[in-house]
Structure 1
Amino acid sequence: MPVHWFEKLFKHRGILWLLFIVNLLGTIYGYIWYGNQMEFTAANYPLWLLPFVPDSPTASLFFTLALLLLLFPPKRFTGVTIKGIIEALAVVTSVKYGIWAVSIIIAGGYQGDVLTWKDWMLMGSHTGMAVEALLYAGFFSYRKMLPLALIWTLFNDVVDYSYGVYPWLPFVLEDNVIGVQYFTFALTLLSVAVAWLFRERSKLRITSGKRASS
């Protein structure tokens, strides 16, 4: 019964539309936030690196698209396949960059960076990214697409730290780039594992619920 209540609430179209709008606005704000770094990258690096700069907004974009596909589920095989890929990327990257941003802000504050209201706002919004991704993991069908999400996210990490287009760090962490790099790669692996675990747990919960009701 609690499972049914949970699913009914979070799959309600009103809730889905509300989250879609909130995430869409957050995504737009995120790309604006990265505007200076994207301009700097365009002026100093090859243009093909631009898509790898705004990591968190792109994660938010994946989740926004995943919500849209819950509202309007595709019926053809190609659409269902694309839906699975987007959902896998949505969960993995939202969990990863949600945790990453909060961790980097806290690490910067620990080393002396002065935290402002924007930092607290970012910690709140990025925590929300990770939480909502895990809440909806059970409603997504992405398990077979997790290897693709892993490959993409690791490739993004390689590009970020090979070409130096990783998100700008607080000044106090500029001498800790290697440590941040190792943390980022480890977080990718952790996020994929968590995405798989939450999906498997939801599948077992649904199966148990069906057995109990039969």
Structure 2
Amino acid sequence: MSSISFFWSRAFLASRQMLIVLFLVNALGTVYGYIWYWDQMQYTLDHHPLWRVVFVPDSPTASLFFTLSLLYLLFPQFTKSSSVLRLLRPIIEALAVVTSLKYGIWAVTMILAGAAQGDHLVWEHYMLIVSHLGMAIEGLLFVRFMVFGRLAAFFALLWLLLNDTVDYTFGVYPWLSDVLEDDLNAIQTFTIGLSVFSLLVTWFTLQFRKV
């Protein structure tokens, strides 16, 4: 094995030390993400029915799914000790991969689209670009260590499409930069298309998984 390929090998990525590091990073990122969305969640609770708030924090919910997936890899005895956890595993893992891929790409695209229309990027934008690219990449890297199949991935797509429908029907999509507000129809189309794209990429990567 070459020195470079080692860094995406099972021996490196699925080692207990790496899984613990990734768990902590994703858990902290999830908390940060919910804090980031806190004002919009509060606004949604004040102006919308309670159930719509579930569809507001897209990226942190995706990283939450991935964090839970890492627990399955860290503690494989979960699936042996509980039939419920065993049944939930493929659904959680599929949601982790498909949603991380989608919202990782979506957030980076929105930041760059805003910059292209005159937004001034600050350090926080660059931090978000790096962290969201990381979401998309880690989802693809860890597909081969997960147990979900095409059906569970399709279920994840249905969740994404429901989320997209609620977001753009009731106006609870992530708050956009002011310069992007007049592009809302294009963003909606892009968002829905990205949901389908994320499923197709996930299905494609499943072909190369060694079960």
TM-score tier by shorter-chain length is over 0.9
Matches within 5 A, 1:21-170: 21-73=24-76, 74-75=79-80, 76-143=82-149, 144-170=151-177
Q: Report what 1:211 is aligned to.
A: none
- Which sections of structure 1, spanning at least 5 residues, go unmatched? 207-214
Aligned-residue RMSD, C-alpha: 1.5
Q: Report what 2:179 is aligned to.
A: 172
Give a deviation string over 1:1-31, Cα, whole Å, max 9, x none.
Answer: 5788811111111110110001000000000
Q: Which amino acid aligns with 1:108?
A: G
Q: Report what 1:210 is aligned to.
A: none
1:77, 1:84 → 2: CA distance?
Answer: 12
1:200 to 200, 203, 207: 207
Give TM-score, length-normalised by structure 1.
0.91
1:182 to 189, 192, 196: 189
How many residue pairs match? The answer is: 204
1:61, 1:106 → 2: CA distance?
Answer: 25
Q: Which amino acid aligns with 2:161?
A: L
Give TM-score, length-normalised by structure 2.
0.93
1:81, 1:182 → 2: CA distance?
Answer: 33
Q: Report what 2:198 is aligned to.
A: 191
Per the TM alignment, residue 80 of structure 1 is displaced from its structure 2 partner at its CA by: 2.1
Q: Percent identity?
A: 52
Q: Which amino acid aligns with 2:96?
A: A
Tell whether 2:14 aligns with 1:18: no
2:40, 2:99 → 1: CA distance?
Answer: 20
1:37, 1:77 → 2: CA distance?
Answer: 37
Q: Which amino acid aligns with 2:105?
A: I
| Structure 1 stretch displaced more, 42-51 or 137-146 | 137-146
